[in-house]
Amino acid sequence: MKITLDADACCGAGQCVLIAPEVFDQRDEDGVVVLLDAEPPAERHDAVREAAAICPAAVIGIHA
Amino acid sequence: MSEMTRPTAAAPLPVRPPSGCPAGPPPHADLLDRGDPHTAFGVLRTTEPISKVSLADGSWAWLATRYADIRAILGDTRFSSDPTVPGYPLSGMTGGGNTDNRGFIRRDPPEHTRLRRMVTREFMVKRVEALRPRIQRLTDDLCDAMERTRERTDGPVDLVEALALPVPSLVISLLLGVPYDDHETFQRLTGTLLARAVPDAERAAARGELRDYLDRLVTAKGAAPGDDILGRLITEQQRTGEITHDDVTAFAALLLIAGHETTANMIGLSALTLMRDPEAADRLRRDPALIRGAVEELLRFHSIIRNGPRRAATADIEIDGHLIRAGEGVVVAVASANRDDRVFADADRFDPGRPNAQHHVAFGYGIHQCLGQALARVELQVVIDTLLRRFPAMRPAVPVEEIPFRTDMSIYGCHALPVTW
């Protein structure tokens, strides 16, 4: 799994951080999403998929 | 295209269910049906997911009721949040039709993005988590006061007045940087704004007084900006010419109002739900790790924003085969989306262990999704955990029929919740 972000479109809701805190964080200066792990291990894939499904601005891309 | 399916007459917004009760109502059905729109929403989701509704001023708008359609609309910025855009359905919406110095929630990109990002970090997950101990402390203090009141009077305590309203008021005071000596004034004014048994003139006076108070607060902070949201807005945005004094005041009013009434009503309804479902309360008491998920389910189940949010189409847009034309308004029923059986199995049932509860749209969806959601979650988690631990015997002090529900308000909840233990 490889994750991409469209950070410009992020609205900083923070749901990805709640669901997958090992993979996503928020920038200190403006709360915009940052990626901590672009290729997370298999045990985190479900959480990442959940975060992508819930993201209100649909900025999380998942690639096989 | 769906021209053929368009009804000619517009039905009123379903604020009241039709008479008659289905056989074998689900648990909590009595809570829901108290002037609630869920029965009517359920019919619309099946028969006419995008329907025409009449508004109080005689105009009409589309009413979207299905989860998928609602995510499609709220996720598409061609549906404008700007109430000055032609077709925006202002009539009867939360906060009325006032468009003066509107905050960022009533603006579109790029202005919305610019303004929202000035305060986004204040509500990000790690900032809010760092606040948890202080939220716990002020919740404990309010619970101590409730115990003292109970000992002194030996009568019921109004949980709304004693806990649900002050928690979010104190938390937002803390974040905005309201001086401690002003807390009483601040709470009195916000309390008057939100109380039901207040004449309109008094409420209008309180609104004016609060606006003047916030204006003076921003001026005072200009002289000595502190380590708080208003202080940072002044030093980083106002002094650099990005925004004006009035914009800072508008931020203060928006953050106060958006975070107060909503959280307060969720606290009241959550406490009531758990008092009336001892089995769920026991489960959460035994395993507090379940509270996080239970809060998502409470948000889904109660969906306190009624008859909104609202949008105006700025282009002809097809939603699930239904054409919404530029200049037409849409009322997006998030409360209905959260009861959509296509997404939430047995959706009218409160299930604190529901696996996909967090898919709810109680905080909205799209770029306007609630900025303060992490804070609201922590406040609810702390209050529920504290009530379950400290007041295991708490129960309503009146029959549920006598609890004054906010069927007359655009944010649902209880006006008062007398409890005993």
Structural domains of chain B sorted by starting position, each given as residue range(s) with its CATH number in brackets: 3-420 (1.10.630.10)
A46 reaches B (C-beta below 8 A): no
Q: Is pLDDT larger for residue A2 or for residue B26?
A: A2
pLDDT for res B322? 96
Per CB-CB distance under 8 Å, the chain A contacts of B309 are none
| Contact at CB, B371 and A12, closer than 8 angstroms | yes
**Nearest in space to B406 (alpha carbons), one of B265, B308, B300, B297:** B265
Model ipTM value: 0.96
pLDDT digits (tens, 9 = 90+) for B132-167: 999 999 999 999 999 999 999 988 999 999 999 999
Mean pLDDT of B233-254: 94
pLDDT for res B9? 57
**Nearest in space to B82 (alpha carbons), one of B109, B56, B63:** B109
Which SS3 state, helix, strand or coil, does residue B72 take?
helix
Mean pLDDT of B63-81: 97
Q: A2-63, which class in CATH?
A: alpha beta
Closest residue in A to B72 (Cα) is A56
pLDDT for res B6? 44
B242 reaches A (C-beta below 8 A): no
Q: How far is CA B232 from CA B76, B84, B170, B172, B285, in A?
A: 32, 30, 19, 15, 40
Whole-angstrom distance, CA of residue B350 vs CA of residue B360: 13
B41 reaches A (C-beta below 8 A): no
pLDDT for res B55? 83
pLDDT for res B259? 84
pLDDT above 90 (res B101): no
pLDDT digits (tens, 9 = 90+) for B314-332: 999 999 999 999 999 999 9
Question: Sorting pLDDT into bands at 50, 70 and 90, what band is B33?
Answer: very low
pLDDT digits (tens, 9 = 90+) for B116-131: 999 999 999 999 999 9
Whole-angstrom distance, CA of residue A13 vs CA of residue A23: 15
CA distance B168 to chain A (A): 19
Closest residue in A to B73 (Cα) is A56
pLDDT above 90 (res B7): no
Query: What is Dmax (Cα atoms) for chain A?
Result: 31
Mean pLDDT of B82-95: 81
pLDDT for res B13? 65
pLDDT for res B20? 33
A26 reaches B (C-beta below 8 A): yes
| Contact at CB, A12 and B373, closer than 8 angstroms | no
Least CB–CB distance from A29: residue in B113, B121, B126: B121
B368 reaches A (C-beta below 8 A): yes
pLDDT above 50 (res B89): yes
Per CB-CB distance under 8 Å, the chain B contacts of A53 are 359
pLDDT above 70 (res A45): yes
Whole-angstrom distance, CA of residue B124 vs CA of residue B128: 6
Mean pLDDT of B77-85: 96
Average pLDDT of chain B is 88
Q: Which of B73, B124, B338 to mutate to test the interface with A (most CBs of A within 10 A)?
A: B124
Range in B1-15, B39-53, B262-276, B343-357 the model is least confident about:
B1-15
Q: Is pLDDT larger for residue B17 or for residue B51?
A: B51
Q: Which of B358, B367, B370, B380 to mutate to test the interface with A (most CBs of A within 10 A)?
A: B367
Q: Which of residues 278-337 of B touch A (CB under 8 A)?
A: none
pLDDT above 90 (res A7): yes
Question: Sorting pLDDT into bands at 50, 70 and 90, what band is B93?
Answer: low
B120 reaches A (C-beta below 8 A): yes
| Contact at CB, A13 and B370, closer than 8 angstroms | yes
Place of tokens 């970090």: B121
Q: What percent of chain B has pLDDT over 70?
A: 89
Phi, psi of B178 (to 5 degrees): -75, 125
Per CB-CB distance under 8 Å, the chain B contacts of A54 are 358-359
Whole-angstrom distance, CA of residue B18 vs CA of residue B309: 23
pLDDT for res B57? 82
Q: How many CB atoms lie within 10 A of CB B139?
A: 23
A5 reaches B (C-beta below 8 A): no
| Contact at CB, A56 and B117, closer than 8 angstroms | no
Q: Which of A11, A29, A30 to mutate to test the interface with B (most CBs of B within 10 A)?
A: A11
Closest residue in A to B120 (Cα) is A31
Per CB-CB distance under 8 Å, the chain A contacts of B337 are none
Mean pLDDT of B173-197: 83
Least CB–CB distance from B75: residue in A12, A14, A58: A58
pLDDT above 70 (res B382): yes
pLDDT for res B172? 92
